[in-house]
Protein backbone atom coordinates (compact mmCIF):
# COMPACT_ATOMS: atom_id res chain seq x y z
CA UNK A 1 0.00 0.00 0.00
CA UNK A 2 1.34 3.44 -0.93
CA UNK A 3 1.46 5.85 1.99
CA UNK A 4 0.16 9.39 1.55
CA UNK A 5 1.21 12.59 3.31
CA UNK A 6 -1.14 13.48 6.16
CA UNK A 7 -3.54 16.36 5.54
CA UNK A 8 -1.51 19.27 7.07
CA UNK A 9 1.58 18.31 5.08
CA UNK A 10 -0.42 17.91 1.87
CA UNK A 11 -1.91 21.38 2.38
CA UNK A 12 1.49 22.89 3.15
CA UNK A 13 3.08 21.46 0.01
CA UNK A 14 0.18 22.66 -2.12
CA UNK A 15 0.33 26.11 -0.55
CA UNK A 16 4.06 26.34 -1.18
CA UNK A 17 3.67 25.31 -4.80
CA UNK A 18 1.29 28.22 -5.37
CA UNK A 19 3.61 30.82 -3.88
CA UNK A 20 5.88 33.02 -5.99
CA UNK A 21 9.48 31.87 -5.58
CA UNK A 22 10.42 34.89 -3.47
CA UNK A 23 7.78 34.07 -0.85
CA UNK A 24 8.78 30.46 -0.21
CA UNK A 25 10.46 29.26 2.97
CA UNK A 26 12.61 31.96 4.52
CA UNK A 27 13.56 33.71 7.72
CA UNK A 28 11.72 36.69 9.14
CA UNK A 29 13.41 40.08 9.04
CA UNK A 30 15.07 40.73 12.39
CA UNK A 31 14.58 44.50 12.45
CA UNK A 32 16.36 45.79 15.57
CA UNK A 33 16.63 42.37 17.20
CA UNK A 34 20.21 41.08 17.42
CA UNK A 35 21.10 37.51 16.55
CA UNK A 36 23.58 36.35 19.23
CA UNK A 37 25.31 34.13 16.67
CA UNK A 38 26.14 37.14 14.50
CA UNK A 39 26.22 40.29 16.64
CA UNK A 40 29.54 41.77 17.72
CA UNK A 41 30.55 42.34 21.31
CA UNK A 42 30.03 46.10 21.03
CA UNK A 43 26.52 45.63 19.64
CA UNK A 44 25.63 43.20 22.43
CA UNK A 45 27.17 45.39 25.15
CA UNK A 46 24.98 48.28 23.97
CA UNK A 47 21.89 46.34 25.09
CA UNK A 48 20.92 47.65 28.55
CA UNK A 49 20.97 44.32 30.38
CA UNK A 50 24.21 43.08 28.78
CA UNK A 51 27.50 43.99 30.41
CA UNK A 52 30.73 44.03 28.46
CA UNK A 53 31.71 40.85 30.28
CA UNK A 54 28.46 39.09 29.38
CA UNK A 55 28.77 40.23 25.77
CA UNK A 56 32.15 38.49 25.65
CA UNK A 57 30.67 35.33 27.17
CA UNK A 58 27.88 35.31 24.57
CA UNK A 59 30.33 35.60 21.69
CA UNK A 60 32.65 32.97 23.19
CA UNK A 61 29.78 30.47 23.50
CA UNK A 62 28.76 30.48 19.84
CA UNK A 63 27.12 28.91 18.00
CA UNK A 64 23.74 28.64 19.73
CA UNK A 65 21.83 26.12 17.65
CA UNK A 66 18.54 26.79 19.41
CA UNK A 67 17.02 29.56 21.48
CA UNK A 68 16.77 26.99 24.25
CA UNK A 69 20.54 26.53 24.21
CA UNK A 70 21.03 30.29 24.37
CA UNK A 71 18.61 30.53 27.29
CA UNK A 72 20.40 27.72 29.13
CA UNK A 73 23.71 29.53 28.83
CA UNK A 74 22.24 32.85 29.93
CA UNK A 75 20.54 31.26 32.94
CA UNK A 76 23.98 31.03 34.55
CA UNK A 77 24.34 34.82 34.35
CA UNK A 78 20.83 36.31 34.39
CA UNK A 79 17.60 35.62 36.23
CA UNK A 80 14.39 34.66 34.46
CA UNK A 81 13.00 38.19 34.43
CA UNK A 82 16.21 39.70 33.04
CA UNK A 83 16.36 37.02 30.34
CA UNK A 84 12.77 37.67 29.32
CA UNK A 85 13.55 41.37 29.02
CA UNK A 86 16.70 40.64 27.03
CA UNK A 87 14.83 38.53 24.47
CA UNK A 88 13.05 41.60 23.19
CA UNK A 89 16.47 42.71 21.93
CA UNK A 90 18.59 39.56 21.48
CA UNK A 91 17.16 36.27 20.23
CA UNK A 92 18.10 33.12 18.30
CA UNK A 93 15.39 32.70 15.61
CA UNK A 94 13.31 29.59 16.26
CA UNK A 95 12.43 26.92 13.71
CA UNK A 96 8.65 27.03 13.37
CA UNK A 97 8.51 23.29 12.74
CA UNK A 98 10.62 22.08 15.66
CA UNK A 99 10.62 24.76 18.38
CA UNK A 100 9.50 23.57 21.79
CA UNK A 101 6.65 25.16 23.70
CA UNK A 102 9.20 26.75 26.03
CA UNK A 103 11.08 28.32 23.11
CA UNK A 104 7.91 29.71 21.55
CA UNK A 105 6.99 31.24 24.90
CA UNK A 106 10.37 33.01 24.96
CA UNK A 107 9.13 35.25 22.13
CA UNK A 108 8.17 38.45 23.96
CA UNK A 109 4.43 38.93 24.39
CA UNK A 110 3.38 35.37 23.55
CA UNK A 111 1.18 33.22 25.74
CA UNK A 112 -0.25 29.69 25.67
CA UNK A 113 -2.88 30.57 23.08
CA UNK A 114 -0.32 31.54 20.44
CA UNK A 115 1.79 28.48 21.25
CA UNK A 116 -1.22 26.42 20.29
CA UNK A 117 -1.74 28.36 17.06
CA UNK A 118 1.95 28.21 16.12
CA UNK A 119 1.90 24.42 16.40
CA UNK A 120 -1.52 23.78 14.89
CA UNK A 121 -0.39 24.41 11.31
CA UNK A 122 2.85 22.42 11.31
CA UNK A 123 4.63 21.50 9.15
CA UNK A 124 5.26 24.89 7.58
CA UNK A 125 7.05 25.00 4.23
CA UNK A 126 6.94 28.78 3.83
CA UNK A 127 7.02 31.76 6.13
CA UNK A 128 4.23 33.25 4.04
CA UNK A 129 2.08 30.26 5.04
CA UNK A 130 2.73 30.99 8.73
CA UNK A 131 1.94 34.68 8.21
CA UNK A 132 -1.36 33.77 6.61
CA UNK A 133 -2.39 31.45 9.43
CA UNK A 134 -1.34 33.80 12.24
CA UNK A 135 -3.24 36.59 10.49
CA UNK A 136 -6.43 34.79 11.51
CA UNK A 137 -5.70 35.65 15.15
CA UNK A 138 -3.70 38.89 15.26
CA UNK A 139 -3.31 41.97 13.08
CA UNK A 140 -0.61 42.56 10.46
CA UNK A 141 1.59 44.57 12.81
CA UNK A 142 1.65 41.77 15.36
CA UNK A 143 2.38 39.15 12.69
CA UNK A 144 5.31 41.28 11.50
CA UNK A 145 6.57 41.67 15.07
CA UNK A 146 6.43 37.93 15.73
CA UNK A 147 8.10 37.16 12.39
CA UNK A 148 11.32 38.75 13.66
CA UNK A 149 11.79 35.74 15.95
CA UNK A 150 11.05 32.82 13.60
CA UNK A 151 12.06 31.02 10.42
CA UNK A 152 11.08 28.11 8.20
CA UNK A 153 14.02 26.13 6.78
CA UNK A 154 14.68 26.48 3.07
CA UNK A 155 14.93 23.51 0.72
CA UNK A 156 18.57 23.47 -0.41
CA UNK A 157 17.70 22.10 -3.84
CA UNK A 158 14.88 24.45 -4.79
CA UNK A 159 15.28 27.69 -2.79
CA UNK A 160 15.51 30.89 -4.79
CA UNK A 161 18.40 33.32 -4.44
CA UNK A 162 16.09 35.60 -2.48
CA UNK A 163 15.20 32.81 -0.07
CA UNK A 164 18.84 31.90 0.55
CA UNK A 165 19.89 35.51 1.05
CA UNK A 166 17.10 35.98 3.60
CA UNK A 167 18.87 33.59 5.98
CA UNK A 168 20.80 35.31 8.79
CA UNK A 169 24.47 35.78 7.98
CA UNK A 170 24.30 34.46 4.40
CA UNK A 171 25.76 36.74 1.74
CA UNK A 172 26.56 36.56 -1.96
CA UNK A 173 29.56 34.28 -1.52
CA UNK A 174 27.68 31.57 0.39
CA UNK A 175 24.72 31.92 -1.96
CA UNK A 176 27.05 30.83 -4.74
CA UNK A 177 28.42 27.93 -2.71
CA UNK A 178 24.96 26.75 -1.61
CA UNK A 179 23.90 26.50 -5.25
CA UNK A 180 27.12 25.08 -6.69
CA UNK A 181 26.59 21.60 -5.25
CA UNK A 182 22.95 21.08 -6.21
CA UNK A 183 21.30 18.66 -6.14
CA UNK A 184 22.18 17.66 -2.59
CA UNK A 185 21.52 14.03 -1.77
CA UNK A 186 21.75 14.38 1.99
CA UNK A 187 22.70 16.81 4.74
CA UNK A 188 26.11 15.17 5.14
CA UNK A 189 26.96 16.33 1.63
CA UNK A 190 26.01 19.89 2.58
CA UNK A 191 28.25 19.71 5.65
CA UNK A 192 31.15 18.37 3.64
CA UNK A 193 30.93 20.94 0.84
CA UNK A 194 30.35 23.96 3.08
CA UNK A 195 33.19 22.80 5.28
CA UNK A 196 35.52 23.76 2.46
CA UNK A 197 34.72 27.43 3.07
CA UNK A 198 33.82 27.88 6.75
CA UNK A 199 34.58 26.17 10.05
CA UNK A 200 32.46 23.50 11.72
CA UNK A 201 30.69 25.98 14.00
CA UNK A 202 29.55 28.06 11.05
CA UNK A 203 28.43 24.98 9.13
CA UNK A 204 26.36 23.96 12.15
CA UNK A 205 24.89 27.47 12.41
CA UNK A 206 23.90 27.48 8.73
CA UNK A 207 22.58 23.93 8.82
CA UNK A 208 19.75 24.82 11.16
CA UNK A 209 18.20 26.94 8.39
CA UNK A 210 18.14 24.27 5.68
CA UNK A 211 16.48 20.98 4.76
CA UNK A 212 16.62 18.58 1.83
CA UNK A 213 13.15 17.54 0.73
Mean pLDDT of the 23-49 span: 82
How much is the average pLDDT of 160-187? 95
8-state DSSP, 151: E
Which pTM does this prediction carry?
Answer: 0.87
Mean pLDDT of 111-120: 96
Long-range contacts of 207-211 (CB under 8 A, 24+ apart): 208/65, 208/66, 208/95, 208/153, 209/27, 209/151, 209/153, 209/154, 209/167, 209/168, 209/170, 210/153, 210/154, 210/155, 210/156, 211/153, 211/154, 211/155, 211/156
Cα Rg, the chain, nearest whole Å? 18
Across 116-144, average pLDDT: 95
pLDDT at 213: 86
The pLDDT of residue 75 is 98
Q: What are phi and psi of 181, to 5 degrees?
A: -100, 15
**Per-residue pLDDT at 83 exceeds 50:** yes
**Could you tell me which residues are beta bridge partners of residue 75?**
none
Q: Give the range among 20-24, 57-61, 102-106, 156-160 with minimum mean pLDDT.
A: 20-24
On average, the pLDDT of the chain sits at 89
Amino acid sequence: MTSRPHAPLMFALTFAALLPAGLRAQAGMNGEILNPNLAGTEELAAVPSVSAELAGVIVEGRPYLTQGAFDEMLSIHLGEGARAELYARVFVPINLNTASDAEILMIPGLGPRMVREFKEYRPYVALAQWRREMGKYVDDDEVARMAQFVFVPIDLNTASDEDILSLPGIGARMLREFKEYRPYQNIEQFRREMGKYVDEDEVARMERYVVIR
